[in-house]
Amino acid sequence: MASQTRIGMITPSLNTVLEPVTYALLADLPDVTAHFSRVQVSRISLEEDSTAQFADEPMLAAARMLADARVHAICWNGTAGSWLGPDFDRRLCETITRETGIPATSATLALAELFRSRGISRFALVTPFESALQEAIIETYGREGFECVAERHLDSEDTFNYATIPPAETEGMIRAVAGAEPEAIAAVCTNLKGAPHAPALEAEAGRPIYDSVAAALWGTLALAGVDPGRIAGWGEIFSVAPASLERLGARP
């Protein structure tokens, strides 16, 4: 193989979705490999002990191990920035890049760049999260200029079992928000199986569906110099070219 691109993903420790979904998305790109390093995340809430899980040092330790694998880009593949604010993720990406010399992005920054690149200002939000987190996410994206016109969430605190949510339940939430005619539907949570539902439901709803795992991969590929458009059959998301690599995160 003439050239191999390696991408690194910093993964919440309880997550069992993003690795297999990322591998599936990359199945037709033999020249791109994904590599994973975990940080301790045992629960998700707005409480201080939950927020403390996303401190710099564990993230940097995970990034350093990915740097040992000489990856070409690193992604914080969690959605905490959706409620802590994108500035949290921007600062983290800058710190990772300063420490490792490797471009860095996050699932949250990638989703925001997708919205901007596609000219989306009105979106619908689907998550498994509890109500307080859902409200915080809506407020966060609102401050970034994106209006949430419809939302559905499961109000669940059982973070590990987000991965086992039945497909019909996820599909039902997506169908429910489509009626508000958003410009896009965002399935936010990297432990939620949103990507496998995107192609069929996009055809049904007539609007793009952006899943956090797919968005994270989209942004990471772009930072690593790989055209995301090479991924086919997973919905509209991979046909979008990023308007700004700088807004995706940090580059050396």
- Give dist(CA 4, CA 168) in Å, integer: 38
Q: What are phi and psi of 13, to 5 degrees?
A: -60, -30
C-alpha to C-alpha distance for 238 and 125, rounded to whole angstroms = 19
pTM for the model: 0.95
Mark the ranges of the chain whose per-residue pLDDT is less than 70: 1-2, 45, 48
User: What backbone phi and psi angles, to 5 degrees, belong to 26?
Assistant: -95, 5
Give the per-residue pLDDT at 157. Answer: 87
pLDDT value for 2: 54
The pLDDT of residue 62 is: 96
Residue type, 194: G
Tell me which DSSP letter residue 244 carries: -
